[in-house]
Amino acid sequence: MEEHLLNLLQQVRDDSNEAARTELNDLLRKYSEARTIMSRTLVDEQALVSHLRDASIISILDADGEVATSQPSTTPAMRHLAWPQQIAVALVTGVIVGLLGVGVAWAVNSPQSQARTLHVTNGDFETFSGPVEIGFPSHFGTWGGNPAEVIEEAGGNRVLRLLKTENINSDLNDFASNCSVFQLVELSSLGQQWEMTDPQTQITLNLSARFRREAAPTDAELPELTGSCRIYLFNRKPEAISEGWPRVIREDGIGFGKKVITLVPGEESATITASCLLESAATVALIVVAASTKSHAAPIELGGYFVDDVQLTAIRQPTLPVHFVK
């Protein structure tokens, strides 16, 4: 029966299958075994709530109607789930809405996730036009990096154009494989406001940006050109990060997230988001938008690669007790 229940969940999730939804409702109403399976699947892993990222989903009554309590783990456990639990985790958020029936109950006054937008200076690139400062930034609130410029498009919108792959430190032994633009963002105030020293507090940083690629004369040389967002976390002074780049990643990095996209010239623009857990000790986030050639080669002109709408968001997950109500 367990496999059949999970298959029904998948049908509802993938196909909005009303027949499957009705059957699943009926099974949960009529059979204690079905409720036991769902209860075990959704509750046995204590870290499930933090993975679901949904404060409204708590659990289903077990077969005997006993009241149980459980505290979510402070560390992710998705990789430890057996395959039925993995499927359930992926499906339950979008599926179990509407499965209320005899013996099924949900918490209604649960705390919600909190989101806060962190300040990225000129993240929309509207405050100036012209070249971006060459070199790694040494203080908060400025863009710096490889050759890039802010241009104004025909409609008046300003965007960042990545111009050329280059070595950020001018080291002749380090080949130029990407064009990266960096900004250092201060995190100390966020940690104080959200009490990050609480071991049960989980905060995720999301860095998003919109990428676009237009035709350029060098396109034939760049068949695997990719765009990426990256986040690095440090507990160091900005000038120390600048002076130690890139070895500071290995020596002092305490967090990292990356998301990559491949665009061919002429495709519609696409927004990607890189995520990482915010360590309580982190005081600085280094955010990066880049285009990479995936090859170690001499500097290459890019010309047609654009970035816009860079945003950094902190999301705090609520600490939720898992409980049953009758």
Q: Look up residue 219 and give its DSSP letter.
A: G
My answer on whether 159 and 308 are in the same domain is yes
Q: What is the mean pLDDT of residues 316-321?
A: 66
Give me the domain span that covers residue 196. 116-317
Residue linked to tokens 């006993």: 66
pLDDT surpassing 90 at residue 196: no
Among 64, 80, 110, the domain boundary falls at 110
Residue 96 has a pLDDT of: 46
pLDDT surpassing 50 at residue 70: no
Q: Which residues pair with 133 in a beta bridge?
A: 144
My answer on whether 25 and 166 are in the same domain is no
Residue 49 has a pLDDT of: 38
pLDDT surpassing 60 at residue 101: no
Q: Assign 162 a pLDDT band (cuts: 50, 70, 90).
A: very high
Residue 316 has a pLDDT of: 87
Among 110, 136, 164, the domain boundary falls at 110
HSE of 44 in the Cβ direction (CA atoms, 13 Å)?
Answer: 15
Q: How confident is the prediction for the chain on average, in pLDDT?
A: 76
My answer on whether 161 and 63 are in the same domain is no
Residue bearing the bigger pLDDT, 291 or 7: 291
Residue 75 has a pLDDT of: 38
Choice among 107-116, 119-128, 146-155, 269-278 with the minimum mean pLDDT: 107-116
Q: Assign 221 a pLDDT band (cuts: 50, 70, 90).
A: confident
CA distance 174 to 165: 12
Q: Assign 15 a pLDDT band (cuts: 50, 70, 90).
A: low
CB 231 within 8 A of CB 287: yes
Coil/strand/helix, residue 207: strand
Among 110, 129, 147, the domain boundary falls at 110
Q: Is residue 325 part of a domain?
A: no
CA distance 249 to 242: 11
Tens-place pLDDT, residues 171-187: 555 567 899 999 999 99
The token duo for 15 is 């196909």
My answer on whether 156 and 186 are in the same domain is yes
What is the pTM for the complete model shown? 0.64
pLDDT surpassing 50 at residue 224: yes
CB 306 within 8 A of CB 214: yes
Residue 86 has a pLDDT of: 46
CA distance 104 to 9: 16
Residue bearing the bigger pLDDT, 15 or 273: 273
> Within 10 A of 315 (CB to CB), how many other CB atoms are there?
16
The token duo for 14 is 């993938």
My answer on whether 103 and 123 are in the same domain is no
> Cα–Cα distances in Å, from 277 out to 116, 133, 252, 316?
15, 30, 16, 10
Q: Which long-range contacts (CB under 8 A, 24 or more apart) does 119-124 make?
A: 119/185, 120/183, 120/185, 120/287, 120/310, 120/311, 120/312, 121/183, 122/150, 123/309, 123/310, 123/311, 123/312, 124/158, 124/308, 124/309, 124/310
pLDDT surpassing 90 at residue 77: no
| Radius of gyration over every alpha carbon of the chain, rounded to an integer in angstroms | 24
CB 4 within 8 A of CB 23: no
My answer on whether 159 and 196 are in the same domain is yes
Residue 56 has a pLDDT of: 34
Q: Look up residue 173 and give its DSSP letter.
A: T
